[in-house]
Amino acid sequence: MKQAATAVAPSNIAFVKYWGVRDAALTLPYNESISMNLDACSTTTTVTFDSSLNTDEVAIQWYGQPARPTAGRPYERVVAQLDRVRVRAGIQARASVVSANNFPADAGIASSAAGFAALTLAAASAAGLQLAERELSILTRQSGSGSACRSIPDGFVHWLNDGTDAGSYAVSVAPAGQWPIVDIVAVVDTSIKRVTSADNHVRVTSSPYFGVRLQEVPDRIKQTLRAIRDRDLSTLGAVCEADAVSLHVVAMTAVPPTFYWNSGTMAVVHALHRWRDEGLMAYFTMDAGANVHVICADADKADVDQRLRELPEVQWTIVNGPARGAYLVDPL
């Protein structure tokens, strides 16, 4: 027997971030988060359950490179997610997984969000599971890449969290067409360190500032929801910057500490301050890495992109508009 399905899923950038896991086995976060799906950074994954296979086979292809078999921890994480799907569908067949990213491996963009969202949708569909969006988001979250659950719904997405497995899932708060803003990734670091966030999600409680961060987040969630509804870029920008700085303060003050920023990161931040003094509305956020995501209006994207590319520290940029969530396509 052979059953195949192919899914496409976007990566996403969080305005208010997931930082800290309360229950690592279920990937339950301490706080809610809000993100935008990215239309220039996606993963396309085909899962084929095949009863003639003795073991799961996983190959990943990065932009501009041939597909390569995956081993080690990334392989184990994919197999664990396939196991969740197999248990739910009551099937035993091993699977072949082929996953292609349309952005380079060294862009320092969290590829796991797009990867685990596409994997979960393709595997669930190939296994014959009919899951509502909420169930799919919960199953995707359980993969261990929590942010992946936000790549399931469309556009602008809120990951709800009541501390329970059933109450921790993502919903769309507005479709991609709600607001023409862009996220320009300014790549200042191409080292493929990719220390996973997993250790730091557990370490957060060792920072004296983690409790402060948790107290601040609910108000940022409210302001971000309002900003998306009202298309209020200056509010969104202020919240994004404050939340990113708070995440990095927690990382820098955890035991042991992690310093993600490099001199290129700070060069972009200082440039944004200068440009804002000139009246250009462009704001930063960073994930668990050195690269800077610059949020601005679609109308300003050519100007901001050119300015970023002229900074000596910026190696290249990727311009993303808002995108729909994960969807199925015909098998490759």
Least distance to ligand DP6, CB of residue 319, Å: 19
Name the residue nearer to ligand DP6 (CB basis): 33 or 43: 33
| Binding letters toward ligand DP6, positions 125-164, x by CB under 6 A | --------------------xxx-----------------
Say which residues have a Cβ less than 8 Å from residue 39's Cβ, sequence separation at least 6.
Answer: 10, 176, 320, 321, 322, 323
Least distance to ligand DP6, CB of residue 226, Å: 19
Least distance to ligand DP6, CB of residue 137, Å: 13
Name the residue nearer to ligand DP6 (CB basis): 56 or 243: 243
Q: Which stretch binds ligand DP6 (CB under 6 A): 14-22, 91-99, 160-168, 274-282?
A: 14-22
DSSP 3-20: EEEEEEEEEEEEEE----
The count of other CB atoms within 10 Å of the CB of residue 94 is 17
| Binding letters toward ligand DP6, positions 165-204, x by CB under 6 A | -------------------------------xx---x---
Task: Enter the tokens of residue 262.
Answer: 């490099």
Name the residue nearer to ligand DP6 (CB basis): 3 or 262: 262
Identify the three-state secondary structure at position 264: helix
Least distance to ligand DP6, CB of residue 45, Å: 16
Amino acid at position 128, single letter: G
Least distance to ligand DP6, CB of residue 312, Å: 26
17 near ligand DP6 (CB under 6 A): yes
Give the HSE-up count for residue 49: Cα atoms under 13 Å, Cβ half-sphere: 22
Name the residue nearer to ligand DP6 (CB basis): 51 or 205: 205
Per-residue DSSP letter, 312: T
Say which residues have a Cβ less than 8 Å from residue 314's Cβ, sequence separation at least 6.
Answer: 186, 187, 188, 264, 267, 268, 308
Binding to ligand DP6 (CB under 6 A): which residues in 30-49? 33
State the Cα–Cα distance between residues 44 and 61, nearest whole angstrom.
Answer: 10
Beta strands in 17-112 (DSSP E): 21-23, 28-29, 33-50, 57-61, 68-69, 94-101
The count of other CB atoms within 10 Å of the CB of residue 32 is 19
Name the residue nearer to ligand DP6 (CB basis): 24 or 67: 24
Selection from 169, 100, 98 nearest residue 136 by Cα:
169
Least distance to ligand DP6, CB of residue 145, Å: 4
| Binding letters toward ligand DP6, positions 267-306, x by CB under 6 A | --------------------xx------------------
Q: Which stretch binds ligand DP6 (CB under 6 A): 11-19, 98-106, 119-127, 205-213?
A: 11-19
Selection from 314, 308, 293 nearest residue 237 by Cα:
293
Beta strand pairing status for 94-101 and 57-61? Answer: parallel
Task: Enter the tokens of residue 78.
Answer: 């994919």
Name the residue nearer to ligand DP6 (CB basis): 41 or 288: 288
Least distance to ligand DP6, CB of residue 53, Å: 26
DSSP 204-229: GGGSTTHHHHHHHHHHHHHHHHHHHH
| Binding letters toward ligand DP6, positions 212-251, x by CB under 6 A | ----------------------------------------
Binding footprint of ligand DP6 on the chain (CB under 6 A): 14, 17-19, 33, 110, 112, 145-147, 196-197, 201, 287-288
